[in-house]
């Protein structure tokens, strides 16, 4: 009887230790890749090596960009800001493996920027999510409310146009 109880305990211990793959974590190689990608963004080092060649990115839109187009998107927006990047504090990262076996990294961040034209400071909450296959990003989705930045840039453009029209009026 003692042998049977001991065998039962050994089996129970073995089964309880063998819980399968991790489905949720806050530290992984994939999270480290995303952190490096964000660090590259902050330093304006546009490297596509973390993406699969077939990767597709969507930011607040159904329009898709390949890795080179994604880097071009960032480069085209850079002149609007004298500084910009993600805040160091308050970043949250998680990696999940879905029921279908897909690996995703989600992050919640605060993006901060200063408009080059007028020095206005912006702080925008951002959610980014990345799907990984074989250590490479194959999908990227980014969601944020661009309203504050768009309105500020429209105000800058309107002031520039008004100044241009006033200069033309003065020439007549």
Total of domains in the chain: 1
- Residue 112 sits in a domain of what CATH number? 3.10.450.50
Residue 29 lies in a domain: yes
How confident is the model over 136-150, as pLDDT tens digits?
A: 999 999 999 999 999
Q: What is the C-alpha separation between 112 and 114, in angstroms, rounded? A: 7
Residue 13 lies in a domain: no
How confident is the model over 4-49, as pLDDT tens digits?
A: 565 554 455 454 555 667 799 999 999 999 999 999 999 999 999 9
Residue 62 lies in a domain: yes
pTM for this predicted structure: 0.81
Q: What is the per-residue burial (b if ≥16 Cβ within 10 Å, else e) of 140-167?
A: bbbebeeeebeebbeebeeeeeeeeeee
């Amino acid at each position: 009887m003692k042998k049977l109880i001991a065998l039962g305990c050994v089996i129970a211990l073995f089964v309880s230790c063998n819980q399968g793959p991790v489905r949720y974590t806050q530290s992984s190689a994939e999270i480290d890749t995303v952190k490096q990608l964000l660090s590259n963004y902050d330093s304006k080092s546009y490297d596509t090596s973390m993406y699969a060649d077939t990767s597709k990115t969507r930011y607040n839109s159904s329009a898709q960009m390949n890795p080179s187009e994604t880097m071009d998107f960032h480069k085209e927006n850079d002149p609007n800001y004298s500084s910009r990047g993600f805040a160091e504090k308050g970043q949250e990262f998680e990696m999940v493996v879905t029921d279908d076996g897909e690996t995703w990294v989600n992050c919640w961040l605060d993006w901060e920027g200063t408009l080059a034209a007028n020095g206005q400071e912006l702080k925008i909450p951002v959610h980014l999510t990345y799907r990984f296959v074989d250590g490479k990003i194959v999908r990227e989705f980014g969601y944020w409310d661009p309203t504050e930045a768009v309105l500020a840039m429209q105000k800058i453009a309107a002031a520039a146009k008004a100044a241009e029209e006033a200069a033309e009026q003065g020439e007549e």
